[in-house]
Amino acid sequence: KAVTCENQLLRERNLPRAKVYRWINSEDDRTIEGILHYPPGKFECKNLPLFVLIHGGPSASSLNMLIGDWYSWAPLAATEG
């Protein structure tokens, strides 16, 4: 049984699912990580439009979760398809 409901609007919204991808940079053998946010109902579908948000780091990181900060809008952009 739910005790609280912090944000009913987010609860009612069909949010995107995300998947973490990792690959090796051939120049220095470092592992690169990216997060692909799929539009709602399109998880792992092919040939979807792609919107790229470049993040240079290392002062902060992108996480595979919804964060309510003004600069963390990738999941909401994916929601619009």
Residue spans per domain, the chain: 8-79
Q: What is the model's pLDDT at position 60?
A: 66
Q: Which residue has the tokens 């964060």?
A: 67
Q: Which residues of the chain have pLDDT under 70?
A: 56-71, 81
Q: What is the model's pLDDT at position 45?
A: 92
39: nearest Cα among 3, 75, 1, 2: 75
Q: Which residue has the tokens 């995107």?
A: 16
The whole-model pTM stands at 0.64
Q: Where are the beta strands (DSSP E) in the chain?
A: 17-24, 31-38
Q: What is the model's pLDDT at position 22?
A: 93
Q: What is the model's pLDDT at position 6?
A: 76
